[in-house]
Amino acid sequence: MSEKTIFKKIIDREIPSDIVYEDEISLAFKDVNPQAPVHILIIPKKEIESTNHLKDDDTALLGHIYTVVLPHLVEKFKLSDGYRLVTNCGNNGGQTVYHLHFHLLGGRFMSWPPG
Ligand code: DGP
């Protein structure tokens, strides 16, 4: 069996994290290396490596993240003025942890293009 990712260890409470939202499908916690005043990682509890590994039956999971978890966090962290939701995929995308995750960044103006 392949080794657990750091995010699976967070889900399983094997390593600590600052959890800001949890339900049966998803978990959200503060990024250990924040790039903005608000920097939260939203992950599915299901182990999916990246957006390249999504399957047809993951549609509801993605919808849940966008329509339930995201609005909850936007309200909780007062991000109604705007934010950035980023998913890094694969080597060229800058992905370092191979468990699908969405970076929710806010609390400051986000410039474009990203680096
Ligand atoms: P990415 O580069 O898109 O794969 O982002 C991975 C993010 O995960 C990165 O911003 C730092 C964060 N991270 C890595 N290890 C840990 C950890 O142990 N705890 C927390 N809270 N965040 C972590």
Q: Answer yes or no: is 115 within a domain.
A: no
Instruction: List residues bridging with 39 in a β-sheet.
Output: 105
- 90 CB under 6 A from ligand 1? no
Q: Answer yes or no: is 40 within a domain.
A: yes
Residue 61: which domain range? 6-106
28 has pLDDT over 80: yes
Per-residue pLDDT reduced to its tens digit, 4-13: 999 999 999 9
DSSP 53: G
Mean pLDDT of 31-40: 98
49 has pLDDT over 80: yes
Structure tokens of 34?
Answer: 């924040």
Per-residue pLDDT reduced to its tens digit, 83-107: 999 999 999 999 999 999 999 999 9
Residue 98 CA, closest ligand 1 atom number: 4
Percent of the chain topping pLDDT 90: 97
Q: Answer yes or no: is 111 within a domain.
A: no
Q: Answer yes or no: is 77 within a domain.
A: yes
Known catalytic residue: 101? yes
Q: Answer yes or no: is 91 within a domain.
A: yes
Q: Answer yes or no: is 114 within a domain.
A: no
Q: Answer yes or no: is 79 within a domain.
A: yes
Our count of domains for the chain comes to: 1
Q: Where residue 38 sits, what CATH number does that domain have?
A: 3.30.428.10
